[in-house]
Amino acid sequence: MTLRLFILIFLTPHEVYDKVVVIDAGHGGRAVGANKQGINEKDIDLAIVLKLKEIFDNSDENIGVYYTRTDDSNPTFDQRVQLANKSDADLFISIHNNSTRSGRMSGTSGTQVMYDETSEASRQFAQICLEEVTGRIGSRDKGLVEGDSIYIIRTSEVPVALIEVGFMTNKDELEKLNSDAYQMETAEGVYQAVLRAFEEGY
């Protein structure tokens, strides 16, 4: 009888990858987010993230990327942010889409990025995301927004940016957001933001 000894060695993400990123697709499951003209925000958020996953999967960069969801599930806010905190991620990005306060269709359009106002690193990273995404998709730059009212932002221990890609309450922007081509361009913008952030020392 031959006895075999198996030794399991557990490595931290940073022992495997040069950099670590956590990507969060907003909402999911019964939490649909904004709903306009039969289109759910959760589906647009996920579609963008899945296209971003394709880009990372085909990248030569040694970046470990972890996703809070890749299907129509709805992790808790704490599960989402703790994935970033416990993996000691270098960056945490959450993908969302916006609507007017009233929820009515309007001419308001553009991209905003929320950040942790207690963290200069978060603010600077949010600015990078804003510039790279608007530059890629040609959306209106609607600036940075203080985000500590958002649980995953105020409890993140790593630089965090919550990207509101566009307004679902704008008919033209909603049509773009629901298109594969625009979603892919958005994903490319987010990818470039990650590369730029790492080039700038994150």
Q: How far apart are CA 9 and CA 126, in angstroms?
A: 36
Spell out the domain ranges in the chain. Answer: 17-199
pLDDT at 175 over 80: yes
Q: pLDDT tens, 4-17?
A: 777 777 789 999 99
Is 84 in contact with 157 (CB distance < 8 Å)? yes
Mean pLDDT of 60-85: 98
Distances (CA, A) of 57 to 51, 60, 64, 94, 179: 10, 8, 10, 18, 22
Report the pLDDT value the prediction gives residue 1, as an integer from 0 to 100: 59
pLDDT-derived band at 64, boundaries 50, 70, 90:
very high
Helix extents (H) in 73-147: 77-86, 120-137
Mean pLDDT for the stretch of residues 154-179: 98
The confidence score (pLDDT) of residue 5 equals: 74
190-199 tens-digit pLDDT: 999 999 999 9
Architecture of domain 17-199: 3-Layer(aba) Sandwich (3.40)
* Nearest-angstrom CA–CA distance, 181 and 129: 19
Share of residues in the chain with pLDDT > 90 (%): 95
The residue-averaged pLDDT of 143-148 equals 98
What's the whole-number average pLDDT of the chain? Answer: 96
Mean pLDDT of 121-125: 98
Query: Looking at residues 94-109, what average pLDDT do you find?
Result: 97
| Residue 139 reports pLDDT greater than 80 | yes
Q: Is the pLDDT of residue 26 over 80?
A: yes
Cβ neighbours of 37 (radius 10 Å): 11
Q: What is the pLDDT of residues 78-100, one digit of tens each?
A: 999 999 999 999 999 999 999 99
- Quote the pLDDT of residue 44: 98
Count CB neighbours of 109 within 10 A.
Answer: 18
Token pair for residue 105?
């269709």
* pLDDT value at residue 2: 65
